[in-house]
Structure 1
Amino acid sequence: MKRVKQLMIIDDDKLSLHLTEMAVSKLSIAEKIISCCSAFKALRYLTENCMPTLENEQIFCPELILLDINMPVIDGYEFLAELHRMEGLRHENTGILIISSSAYKDEKEKVKYFPLVGYVEKPVTSTKVLAALQSRL
């Protein structure tokens, strides 16, 4: 299985975030895992660390984002919309894996315009992540 250089996990629930980190770590699919406990913190991280500069034009977004949809303040849909509005951010090779406790059929219509890799229902396990990513990695 091909490893990605950077993988980002965004989930406001600390237990779910920890379980997802453990599941992804167990699979060894990423060289670096970036964990964010809110969409706001994830957007700030991306702005500060993933924007190309004159000194380094080879900066890119994480290749895979595991995104919780149901979060307060900025939910997963708003995060995706903001991600795609950010000028200069190189995210064209970033895949999104939705993490949610809602049924996928409810989410499917809302995320159809984004580069969706798959869907994992909570609680996240390495088996569920692997099954969702089989075609991606």
Structure 2
Amino acid sequence: MRKVEKMYVIDDDKIYHFLLKNLFRQNNIAATPVFFSNGQDAIDHIKANKNNNAELPDLILLDVNMPIMDGWQFLEEYNMMLEELPKASTIFMISSSNDEQDLNKAKKYSNIVKDYFLKPICKEDLEKIFILDRA
């Protein structure tokens, strides 16, 4: 299993937060997510903790469509500050958008975005994200 000490979920959908917590519990994923309802809040938190490795995420689950700062804007900001961070996070985009433009745009961030999943994510998606041992 991928070692995840700290995980950020950047998504404005509170129902999705609830479903995600349940999905983690049902699949014995011990990581406790820190939720942000937009990219700006997450960027501010990362900037405030950029010298505190324990507060920085190992994994980020990022939505595309959010108010204030969307997923693409978050990626731009995160990419610009990456050199200042003591570690890079593994980022998976998780969105309800199956628009070809979004899928292609995610590929342009292949240096920081590992994969793109459609909502709702399922056990098979979690297996890819967390590299779960198959029973």
Structures share a fold, TM > 0.5? yes
The verdict on how the C-alpha distance between 1:8 and 1:104 changes in structure 2, with shifts beyond 3 A counting, is farther
Deviation at 1:103, TM superposition (A): 1.2
SS at match of 1:44: helix
* CA RMSD between the two structures: 2.5
Match of 1:17 in 2: 17
Code of the aligned partner of 2:75: L
CA contact (8 A) 1:2 1:29 kept: no
Supply the distance in 2 between the matched residues of 1:15 and 1:25 (Cα, whole angstroms): 16
Match of 1:130 in 2: 127
SS at match of 1:5: coil
Match of 2:91 in 1: 96
Match of 2:42 in 1: 42
The verdict on how the C-alpha distance between 1:35 and 1:117 changes in structure 2, with shifts beyond 3 A counting, is same
CA contact (8 A) 1:10 1:36 kept: yes
Match of 1:70 in 2: 65
CA contact (8 A) 1:68 1:100 kept: yes
Code of the aligned partner of 1:89: L
Give the TM-score normalised by structure 2.
0.78
Supply the distance in 2 between the matched residues of 1:132 and 1:40 (Cα, whole angstroms): 24
Give the TM-score normalised by structure 1.
0.77
Structure (1 or 2) with the greater helix fraction: 2
Deviation at 1:30, TM superposition (A): 4.9
Structure 2: runs of 5 or more not aligned: none
SS at match of 1:110: helix
Supply the distance in 1 between the matched residues of 2:98 and 2:15 (Cα, whole angstroms): 20
CA contact (8 A) 1:9 1:20 kept: no
Structure 1: runs of 5 or more not aligned: none
Deviation at 1:108, TM superposition (A): 2.7
Structure (1 or 2) with the greater strand fraction: 1
Match of 2:4 in 1: 4
